[in-house]
Amino acid sequence: MACIIYFLIVLVPILGWIAFLHLFPDYFKNREKRQIGFGANRVIATVFLLLIIYVLRPGNNPFLALLLILPLSLLVMLWAGPLMDYIGAKAIAQVTGHGEEVEPQPLYSIVETQRRSGKPQKALDLLDAELEKFPADYEGLILKAMIQMEDLKNFQDAQATLLQVGSAEVHTPGQVSRAHNLLADWQIKFEQDESSARETLEMLRARFPDSGVEFAVSQRLARLDCTLDFDDKRDAAEVVSDCLKQLEKHPLDNNTREKLAEVYFERYNKPDLAWEEMNKLFAMPYQQPADLCRWLNRMADWHLKRDHPDGARQCLQQIISRFPDQPQCEAAQLRLTRLQL
């Protein structure tokens, strides 16, 4: 009789659990619910094992004592892993000071492997599966656009993907800028459509006024309209006129303003106007250290040509004090040493 009761105690919950899984097969597809399901299985198994241990409690029977070894071993195996994980996680958290759950991250290594293997469509399918879980992931969207354009030669889809980057509020201005600049590159390279590229860049510039993005995009738009050669042999007055026209249309154009300053100093004999243009360059925000160092070196050259070594020293000292981490700093120190000999 005891064996029948034991059999029913074990069989009924098992049949109930199997029926539940049969009736609700999709219940544990969600990651969190799947973890709950694993925990529930462990608890149910533990209850079964405890019931077995209770039924087989040996008393004075050595044979039943031997039978207890198997359920006890299974019970230890069920809980040893989770218990060690918990203890280990607590210990690591105490040592490192971190106990937070690791945030899930998208995995694109398989996508890259398929792409390098010459299977761009399969790579795109795998990438779309990742983007379903991380729909606004920047690196994933850029990679998707590159596969669409560079591998599948589908400009329309690539353009839509890059514009998706710009429409998502979670992306930084730098990320939006990179996506739109990439789109402009492809409009010129693959579509031979410079007009659309200019529209793309103008929209980007208008979106981020008074910012580093606006400044950088303005340089590129200026280059689309005009690039003046520093070795231009035309009459100085003609070159100055072209520079002024370009600066009227693109007042943030570094290249043209630097060219104008050089022509004023070297060919027009107007050093005051040259200094004025250089000061305008220095007054603009978001200038790059490498450009500032180059301009200070150029102004040092001009001071030496006009026999003003003190002015040249001041320019070189500015490079050293303002940009100690730039490679131009060492060259400026050598020049300054020679001037002081």
Q: Is 287 helix (H, G, I), strand (E, B) or coil?
A: coil
Residues 91 and 7 in one domain: yes
Which of 66, 96, 126 marks a domain boundary? Answer: 96
Token pair listed for 64 = 């039943």
Which of 96, 125, 145 terminates a domain? The answer is 96
Question: Considering its fold, how many domains does the chain have in total?
Answer: 4
Distance (Å, rounded) from C-alpha 159 to C-alpha 184? 10
Are residues 191 and 148 part of one domain? no
26 — pLDDT class (breaks 50, 70, 90): low
The length of the chain in residues reads: 341
Residue 149 included in any domain: yes
* 144/187 same-domain check: no
Distance, in Å, from the CA atom of 332 to the CA atom of 341, rounded to the nearest integer, reads 15
Same domain, yes or no, for 183 and 141? no
Same-domain status, 335 and 298: yes
Q: pLDDT tens digits, residue range 27-76?
A: 544 444 445 545 666 666 666 666 666 665 655 566 555 655 666 666 67
Whole domain around residue 324: which residue ranges?
A: 288-340
**Cα 294 to Cα 262: distance, rounded to the nearest angstrom:** 13
- Domain-located, residue 28: yes
In this structure, the answer to whether residues 7 and 53 fall within a common structural domain is: yes
The yes-or-no verdict on residue 291 having pLDDT over 50 is yes
Across the chain, what does the average pLDDT equal? 83
Report how far residue 189's alpha carbon sits from residue 118's, in angstroms, rounded to the nearest whole number. 22
Does the residue 227 lie in any domain? no
* pLDDT, tens digit (0-9, with 9 covering 90-100), for 120-178: 999 999 999 999 999 999 999 999 999 999 999 999 999 999 999 988 889 999 999 99
In a domain, 226, yes or no: no
How far apart CA 296 and CA 244 sit, in angstroms, is 23
- Domain assignment of residue 8, yes or no: yes
Entry pTM: 0.68
